[in-house]
Amino acid sequence: MTTRLDHSIGDALFDRAQRVIPGGIYGHQTPAFLVAGAFPKFLSAAHGCRVVDPDGHQYIDFMCAYGPMVLGYGDPVVEAAAERQRRLCDVGTLPAPVMVELAEKLVDITTGMDWAMFAKNGSDGCTWSIAVAREATGRDMVAMVGGSYHGVHGWCNAFQRGFPDGERATVLTFSWNDAASLERLFAAHHGKIAAVMITPFRHEGMHDSELPTREFLDSVRRQCTSNGAVMIVDDVRAGFRINIGGSLQHWGVTPDMTVYSKAVANGYPLAVLLGADSLRTPAQGVFYTGTFATQAVPLAASLATIEQLIVRDAIVHMDRVGRRLCNGLAQRASAAGLAVTLSGPPSIPFMTFVADDGGFDRSRTFSAECAGRGAFFHPHHNWFVSMAHSDADIDAALAIAEVGFAQVLAEHGADQA
């Protein structure tokens, strides 16, 4: 049995939640995706890289709110910028000047992008980018990597329930790192594919976070160009942890459109659609709006976030502490005689146990033991590090992970030779 903390206050809150909220907590934050009894269900406070549950237990957080907290929770510079804007105006009858400043900054730093528009979440950003591609090409079909996550809208909802099959009628799928599978789609649907949407690493649920090969990305780029399709990068999850100019710049590839959300405003709700000049008129033609779409506080927070990412050389820092975490986990797992796979960009790492063979039994034991000792590692979703994770935080988490590996050995036995 893994180490368990007392979660009685959080559990009582969950009982209340179940009476007034379907499922108590829904979506990806449902307790059903974590290990029952081992993880908290709610968080009542957060600072830097640490979160506190309603029972007062503190955790070094390797989820960063599923990505947004790129500088850390409650970053003082971002919070001050947000507060300044809040005093001026947040949701207004017309947009605030900061919208133009942020658009200029994003266009300035993002390779190949000439305009920016704003929304509230990644799902809206991805769906809207496809609408722009359809408007630009006069075509309907969209190609995406099978199983990839692009949000909750009907065309790509991972669970499909509640949406008619027709919503997926225009969606084609190809395989990650398999350029030939995309070639086959273009051949079979010649002149009909409006857009190809890809992510900077493999985003298939419950799958190792495989990185792209350079050949794959080059080929996607070439195929989009030669077939007149729009290449869209869904940078919602990876954005601002790999390259400040857009994640695919790491591999030297430039898309036609980029969608950001999670980390763009250090926790404030914002999504950004960026596009090349050739898509400016179609972007203007697709009616997009939202009561809160131009909310000014997140825009100001985003401007400050981007400036601080640059000033603090945050991407280099996150890569470095991410490598420290991955190397430390690999060493400790190997010392325990357990084979693990560490995948993904170092700043968005993911670990699976080879002996789990595509399942997550050992991951659940490991993450449960770590949660009981104050480190929050999700059992089957990729993790995130932030600018607020110091070497000392990583080392403290590694000391906990060592006990996590020992618990895996105790519960599941040694790996078979």
Among 127, 261, 352, 407, binds ligand PLP (CB under 6 A): 261
Choices 18-26, 118-126, 136-144, 358-366; region in contact with ligand PLP by CB under 6 A: 118-126
- Residue 129 or residue 407: which is nearer to ligand PLP going by CB? 129
Give strand ranges (E) for 18-113. 45-47, 50-52, 58-61
Closer of 149 and 240 to ligand PLP (Cβ): 149
- Angle at which helix 296-311 crosses helix 76-88, to 10 degrees, equals 150
In eight-state DSSP terms, residue 48 is: B
CA dist 341 and 374 (Å) reads 23
Which of the ranges 90-98, 121-129, 293-301, 384-392 carries the binding residues for ligand PLP, by CB under 6 A? 121-129
Considering only CA atoms, which of 237, 261, 264, 241 is closest in space to residue 78?
A: 264
Query: Does position 29 bind ligand PLP by CB under 6 A?
Result: no
Candidates 182, 196, 236, 300: give the one binding ligand PLP (CB under 6 A). Answer: 236
- Give the Å distances, CA to CA, from 144 to 193, 215, 275: 11, 17, 18
**Both tokens of residue 74?**
């409650």
Question: Does the protein bind ligand PLP through residue 203 (CB under 6 A)?
Answer: yes
Indicate the pairing of strand 271-275 with strand 230-234: unpaired
Q: Are 191 and 139 in contact (CB under 8 A)?
A: yes
Residue type, 286: V
Smallest distance from ligand PLP to CB 348, Å: 10
Q: In whole angstroms, what is the distance from residue 70 CA to residue 385 CA? A: 7
122 binds ligand PLP (CB under 6 A): yes
Does position 237 bind ligand PLP by CB under 6 A? yes
Q: Which of 75, 234, 256, 402 binds ligand PLP (CB under 6 A)?
A: 234
CB of 38 to ligand PLP, least distance (A): 23
Q: How far, in whole angstroms, is CA 61 from its chain's centroid?
A: 15
> Taking the CB of residue 410, how many other CB atoms lie within 10 A of it?
12
Which residue of 38, 96, 126, 248 would you call a contact of ligand PLP, by CB under 6 A? 126
The C-alpha atoms of residue 338 and residue 112 are separated, in whole angstroms, by: 44
Q: Report in angstroms how near the CB of residue 122 gets to ligand PLP at its nearest.
A: 2
Among 149, 366, 377, 405, binds ligand PLP (CB under 6 A): 149
- Which 161-180 residues touch ligand PLP, going by CB under 6 A? none
Q: Which of 198/368 has CB closer to ligand PLP?
A: 198
Nearest-CB residue to ligand PLP?
A: 122
CB of 306 to ligand PLP, least distance (A): 18
Q: Minimum distance from CB of 68 to ligand PLP (Å)? A: 9
Q: Tokens standing for 258?
A: 């980029």
How far apart are the C-alpha atoms of 93 and 152, rounded to whole Å? 29
Residues near ligand PLP (CB under 6 A) are 121-123, 126, 149-151, 199, 203, 234, 236-237, 261
